[in-house]
């Protein structure tokens, strides 16, 4: 056997055998639930939080549990069904501005900041719970 050099590193020659049999292999089957397409679509459907929204949640000490997130997501789904683009979503004593098309929470408002506030550039409002 002879040695080959790749980028200055000695690599022993390894003969390829059995190449005729490789064409008969069947492609691996992917479970429909775990296919890339399904996982990708699921990720696209999840609600995202913009950097600004994350900063507002932190600075205003707003903590959302899984039930809260689910309620907001359901409200966004309802707004989407009605053709909304930008929606004001109310959840208890909080409000969220959501870009429905991108499924992104743009900002979060707590009770104190709801007082005397004017919301512009929205085309719908949804009560989430």
Tell me how many degrees the CA angle 53-58-62 measures, rounded to the nearest 5: 85
User: Is residue 12 included in any domain, yes or no?
Assistant: no
Q: Tell me what percent of the chain is helix, strand and coil, each rounded to the nearest 5.
A: 35, 25, 40
User: Is residue 114 included in any domain, yes or no?
Assistant: yes
User: Is residue 72 included in any domain, yes or no?
Assistant: yes
User: Is residue 40 included in any domain, yes or no?
Assistant: no
Count up the domains in the chain and report the number.
1
User: Is residue 6 included in any domain, yes or no?
Assistant: no
User: Is residue 9 included in any domain, yes or no?
Assistant: no
Instruction: Provide the residue-wise pLDDT of the chain in tens; the chain has 129 residues.
Output: 566 776 677 767 665 665 555 555 656 666 666 777 777 666 667 899 999 999 999 999 999 999 999 999 999 999 999 999 999 999 999 999 999 999 999 999 999 988 888 899 999 999 998
* Structure confidence at residue 101 (pLDDT): 93
Give the whole-angstrom CA distance, residue 9 versus residue 85.
58
Structural domain containing residue 118: 47-127
* CATH number of residue 117's parent domain: 3.30.2310
The DSSP H or E segment spanning 66 is helix 66-81
User: Is residue 18 included in any domain, yes or no?
Assistant: no
* Structure confidence at residue 36 (pLDDT): 76
User: Is residue 51 included in any domain, yes or no?
Assistant: yes
* Structure confidence at residue 116 (pLDDT): 83
Q: Determine whether 102 is exposed, middle or buried from the number of CB atoms within 10 Å of its CB (0-12, 13-18, 19+).
A: middle
């Amino acid at each position: 056997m002879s040695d080959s050099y790749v980028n200055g590193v000695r690599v022993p020659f390894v003969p390829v055998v059995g190449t005729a049999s490789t064409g008969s292999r069947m492609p691996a089957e992917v479970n429909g639930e775990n296919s890339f397409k399904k996982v990708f679509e699921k990720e696209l459907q999840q609600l995202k939080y913009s950097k600004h929204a994350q900063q507002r949640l932190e600075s205003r000490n707003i903590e959302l549990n899984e039930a809260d997130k689910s309620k907001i997501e359901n409200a966004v789904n309802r707004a989407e069904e009605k053709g909304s683009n930008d929606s004001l979503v109310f959840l208890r004593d909080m409000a969220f501005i959501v870009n429905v098309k991108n499924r992104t929470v743009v900002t979060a408002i707590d009770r104190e900041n709801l007082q005397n506030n004017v919301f512009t550039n929205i085309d719908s409002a949804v009560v989430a719970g």
